[in-house]
């Protein structure tokens, strides 16, 4: 239902960490991702005992909880914001504060739940949680980000 927004994400192939968007509105988003057994980051983290790196957990949370919601808010026509998206736009994470509680292993499906704290002056701030398949809290944090335009920046 909401998965048409996946085509607008600026990630491809091995760095796209969103499988499905379960719910999406102006106040938040819930989505899932299943970690692939053969993902590049498991090869050396850790040898013979693969564990998902914290930076990948953070990236999954950011893609679902911040980028998907940010794109929705921008293309949804939030008239109070003077932000536009085009093919030169990309998300920029400006701040995170994440706490980790459980390991995530290859093949696990995680669910990310994000609640908007605010969206103003082109900056989005969200409270984001990740849960494993058993419903246990894996990580939580506060994320902030903005949408930048690469084409405009290069021409300035």
Per-residue pLDDT tens over the stretch 51-72: 999 999 999 999 999 999 998 9
Task: Tell me the CA distances in angstroms from 44 to 56, 60, 110, 120, one per residue in order.
Answer: 14, 19, 22, 40
Dihedrals φ, ψ of 12, to 5°?
-135, 160
Per-residue pLDDT tens over the stretch 93-102: 889 999 999 9
Q: What is the pTM of this model?
A: 0.89
Higher per-residue pLDDT: 89 or 151: 89
Per-residue pLDDT tens over the stretch 33-53: 999 999 999 998 998 899 999
pLDDT of 137 > 80? The answer is: yes
Higher per-residue pLDDT: 110 or 73: 110
For each of the domains in the chain, give its residue range(s) and CATH number, in order of start: 3-155 (3.10.129.10)
């Amino acid at each position: 239902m909401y998965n048409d927004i996946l085509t607008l994400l600026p990630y491809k192939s091995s760095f796209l960490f969103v499988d499905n968007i379960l719910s999406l509105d102006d106040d938040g988003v819930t989505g899932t991702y299943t970690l692939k057994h053969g993902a590049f980051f498991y090869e050396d983290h850790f040898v013979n005992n693969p564990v998902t790196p914290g930076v990948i957990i953070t990236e999954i949370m950011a893609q679902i909880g911040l980028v998907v919601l940010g794109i929705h808010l921008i293309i949804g026509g939030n008239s109070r914001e003077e932000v536009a998206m085009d093919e030169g736009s990309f998300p920029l994470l400006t701040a995170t504060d994440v706490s980790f509680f459980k390991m995530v292993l290859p093949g696990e499906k995680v669910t990310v739940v994000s609640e908007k704290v605010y969206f103003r002056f082109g900056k989005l701030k969200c409270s984001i949680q990740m849960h494993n398949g058993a419903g246990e809290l894996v990580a939580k944090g506060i994320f902030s980000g903005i949408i930048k335009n690469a084409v405009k920046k290069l021409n300035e």
